[in-house]
Amino acid sequence: MIPELGHFALALALALSLAQAAFGLWGAQRAAPRLMAAAAPLAAGTLLAVAAAFGCLMWSFAVNDTTVANVVQNSHSAKPLLYKLSGTWGSHEGSMVLWVLILALCGGAVASFGRNLPSALQARVLAVLGLVAVGFLAFILGTSNPFDRVWPPAADGQGLNPVLQDPGLAFHPPLLYLGYVGFSVTFAFAIAALIEGRVDAAWGRWVRPWALAAWSFLTLGIALGSWWAYYELGWGGYWFWDPVENASLLPWLAGCALLHSATVVERREALKTWTVFLALLAFGLSLLGTFLVRSGVLNSVHAFASDPTRGVFILGLLMLYIGGGFALFAWRAAAMTPTGIFAPLSREGGLILNNLLLCSIAAVVLVGTLYPMFADLLLGQKISVGPPFFNSATLPLAVPLVAAMAVGPMLPWKRARLWPALQRLWWAALGGLAALLLCLALEGQRLGPALGFAAAAWLILGALADITDRIALFSRPRAAFARARGLPRAAWGGAVAHAGMGVMILGLAGMGLATDRLALLKPGESVALAGYDYRLEALRDAPGPNFSARRATLVVTRNGRPVTVLEPERRSFPVGRMTTTEAAIHTTWLADLYTVLGDERDGGAVLRLHHNPLAPWIWLGAAIMALGGGLSLSDRRMRVAAPAPKLAPKPAQEGAAA
């Protein structure tokens, strides 16, 4: 009964979102206030219906309803409740329902927070979101019904892939989808702007919080995925340039460019066409990722079980939304003329440079990801494009990006001079140079990590210089605290996010100095790595809730003093007959001691030991970046963006928002 209710709720949501799209577009075109006013309640209705469907699916998983095919394929009664619930979005079908739920949440948010948007703009934005929901609901109902029944009921489920039974992974997809789907709102704003043929400062002000929120969630989602790969897959790496990882990086890069260029639209009414294009691109790349993961056209550890009919359907949706968006862009974008004029060397110029570099990196990653597929299709050649290509092709673009990142926020709008900005950064430059020399002195000829440490110091100190400069800490220290409190949160957010990038690069550079070794140890024997001694104390069986494990107990000492006890495991899951490795990690914050238990031979165990300097800072840095996004989002300017902007600094916006 509950699954049928869920199925019905999905169908209802389809009807409601269809109405939402029709009323919104038609009402805005006819300038009919009552039609337009219908879009917001319909969006709320869609949200309720999709939430009900999602709740029904979650309930089926919670009670392990083995008459539901999706539950049988992806769950098992012996699984802990958390993973039963997270199994709701562990499969292709369930994750699509989550996708649509988040889309409906975005629609609900635009409907409730956007009351002060011009009514035609709000109606069109809701209509486009409704249209996107229509496509994906039709996709779910047509090809991927999560509520399909099986009869007679299976004895029990087949279990979720044990690698996915992990708290990190339970929250990785929702965060990632909040990011991907968040870009559907900026996409909807871009389409609405193209239909209206107008982009102004107010538009930039409404788009920016959405871009920021989506980007922050995507940052967290990617970081969580990377952290999970690090501690769960047991390879000791954190980023593999896997096509699916790249698919999440692409919208991140485009979204990062978008939130910077939207600032220019908001403050200076320039870069309008470009910002609209980025908004289309960010969502387009999100959809491209969805297509690549779910259609089976590429080979990846992340790919869902593939089905060409689904692939054709998603490709149709991709072409409809992205092709449609770009067609509208080609037709209407010429009407948008910039009004703000600025010199090449200015804050605007810096942001253009940021956009050019971020988009070039995105282009490199896109080409590297798609090239093997097209080479296979057109030339019949099997090529794999791996880390060497991506590292060497993105590095020359990342270096100027990082160099400019600290300078950009120092430049004033309209027209700037480089020298005063650089003068305020002299100690950041000095710090970078010191980090470079220190690393070369301590670690020898390791140019890559040394450059990384220099970049990290430059960014962190640069962000610090930006803040101390704004609050005049050194020139007028007495007033500094008051100035710090008065400083807009967006300025804090920007500095924090840039410093977060620096912290992340610090971690990456540290990982460049990682060492590892493979050892066959019998109980009682020990091995040394990077100043630590690892002694194998015991090897024994350890039962788990739905797996059995072999556990090694390693006592780690440094110069005879105990540091920690590490217990890496190898788990066998009888359901699904899979084996996973559970790395045991001890972090000193300066380094991770990372141990993996391999096979056993002749009474001994093969152990892989890694010493990963500064590794935790990679993900902490990403979290700091997302925190910066959140800080910026809490800026007064953003909060007053939704209500009528009485306090708007520029009179031009009052007319636009009225």
Partner 1 sequence: MSEATRPDPAPNPGRRRALLLAPLGLAAVAGAGFYAMLRGLGSGSYDPRGVPSALLGKPPPDFALPPLEGAERPGLASADLRGGGRPVLVNFFASWCMPCVIEHPQLMRLARAGVPVLGIAYKDKPEDSLGFLRRHGNPYTRLGVDQPGRVAIDWGVYGVPETYLVDPSGLIRWRWAGPITEDTLRQDLEPLLRRHA
Out of 577, 602, 646, 647, the residue judged to bind partner 1 by CB under 8 A: 577
Place of tokens 């990963």: 612
Residue 281 found at the interface with partner 1 (CB under 8 A): yes
Out of 579, 636, 643, 650, the residue judged to bind partner 1 by CB under 8 A: 579
Out of 296, 448, 488, 544, the residue judged to bind partner 1 by CB under 8 A: 296
Q: Between 519 and 558, how does the x/- string for binding to partner 1 read (CB under 8 A)?
A: ----------------------------------------
Place of tokens 């929250």: 171
Say how many CA atoms lie within 13 Å of 437 toward its Cβ: 6
Closest by alpha carbon to 272, among 197, 353, 354?
A: 197
- What's the 3-state SS for 130-180? HHHHHHHHHHHHHHCCCCCECCCCCCCCCCCCHHHCCHHHHHHHHHHHHHH
Smallest distance from partner 1 to CB 264, Å: 11
At position 252, the amino acid (one-letter code) is W
Query: How far apart are the C-alpha atoms of 658 and 651, rounded to whole Å?
Result: 12
CB nearer to partner 1: pick between 34 and 382: 382
Residue 364 found at the interface with partner 1 (CB under 8 A): no
CB nearer to partner 1: pick between 174 and 368: 368
Q: Which stretch binds partner 1 (CB under 8 A): 200-208, 221-229, 370-378, 513-521?
A: 370-378
CB contact at 8 A, 115 and 24: no
Query: How far apart are the C-alpha atoms of 69 and 144, rounded to whole Å?
Result: 11
Residue 553: partners with Cβ closer than 8 Å, 6 or more residues away: 536, 537, 538, 539, 540, 565, 566, 567
Element (H, E) at 528: strand 526-529
Site for partner 1 in 402-441 (CB under 8 A): 403-404, 407, 411, 416, 418
First-last CA distance in the chain? 49
Q: Which stretch binds partner 1 (CB under 8 A): 85-93, 307-315, 441-449, 583-591?
A: 307-315
CB nearer to partner 1: pick between 323 and 396: 323
Angle, to 10 degrees, between the axis of helix 119-143 and the axis of helix 308-318? 170
Q: Between 591 and 620, how does the x/- string for binding to partner 1 read (CB under 8 A)?
A: --------x---------------------
CB nearer to partner 1: pick between 489 and 570: 570
At position 624, the amino acid (one-letter code) is I
Q: Which stretch binds partner 1 (CB under 8 A): 139-147, 245-253, 311-319, 429-437?
A: 311-319
What are the strands of the beta sheet with 604-613, ordered from one edge? 515-521, 604-613, 591-601, 584-587
CB nearer to partner 1: pick between 33 and 344: 344
CB contact at 8 A, 199 and 336: yes
Residue 197 found at the interface with partner 1 (CB under 8 A): no
Smallest distance from partner 1 to CB 592, Å: 25
Site for partner 1 in 329-358 (CB under 8 A): 329-330, 333-334, 337-338, 341-345, 348-350, 352-353, 356
Say how many CA atoms lie within 13 Å of 584 toward its Cβ: 21
Element (H, E) at 609: strand 604-613
CB nearer to partner 1: pick between 330 and 644: 330
CB contact at 8 A, 273 and 308: no
Q: How many residues bind partner 1 (CB under 8 A)?
A: 61
Q: Between 477 and 516, how does the x/- string for binding to partner 1 read (CB under 8 A)?
A: ----------------------------------------
Residue 271 found at the interface with partner 1 (CB under 8 A): yes
Place of tokens 């440490």: 453
Smallest distance from partner 1 to CB 43, Å: 28
Residue 326: partners with Cβ closer than 8 Å, 6 or more residues away: 280, 284
Residue 193 found at the interface with partner 1 (CB under 8 A): no
Out of 277, 458, 534, 573, the residue judged to bind partner 1 by CB under 8 A: 277
**Which residues make up the interface to partner 1 (CB under 8 A)?**
270-271, 273-274, 277, 280-281, 284, 291, 295-299, 305-306, 308, 311-312, 315, 318-319, 322-323, 326-327, 329-330, 333-334, 337-338, 341-345, 348-350, 352-353, 356, 370, 373-374, 376-378, 382, 400, 403-404, 407, 411, 416, 418, 577-579, 599
